[in-house]
């Protein structure tokens, strides 16, 4: 956790319009990525920082089913929450 506060955000999967997966130089060395989801409504995006590389792809694919499929070379894990991700938690 980056800070002392946590927030929980519930997104309707059908409302997710954009997924952004970012990886800084430090995150790359540590095997981490940050995933942001954007909807047509709301304020900007919702960030999920510093989750494992594979978990980031699985999380993004589950957040918006079908949105990333054309860009993935191997399918992510379909069942349950990705490793390293606590369901219902979002970093702020």
Tens of pLDDT along 60-78? 888 888 888 888 776 555 5
- On the question of pLDDT at 55 being above 70, the answer is yes
Query: Would you say 22 and 47 are in contact if contact means Cβ atoms under 8 Å apart?
Result: no
Tens of pLDDT along 13-43? 888 888 889 999 999 999 999 999 888 877 7
Q: Tell me the pLDDT of the chain averaged across its residues.
A: 78
Query: Would you say 28 and 52 are in contact if contact means Cβ atoms under 8 Å apart?
Result: no
């Amino acid at each position: 956790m980056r800070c002392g506060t946590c927030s929980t955000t519930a997104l309707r999967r059908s409302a997710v319009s954009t997924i952004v997966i970012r990886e800084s130089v430090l995150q790359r060395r540590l095997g981490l990525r940050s995933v942001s989801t954007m909807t047509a409504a709301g304020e900007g995006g919702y960030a999920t920082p510093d989750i494992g590389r594979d978990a980031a792809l699985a999380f993004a694919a589950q957040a918006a089913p079908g949105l990333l499929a054309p860009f993935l070379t191997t399918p992510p894990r379909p069942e349950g929450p990705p490793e390293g991700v606590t369901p219902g938690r979002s970093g702020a």
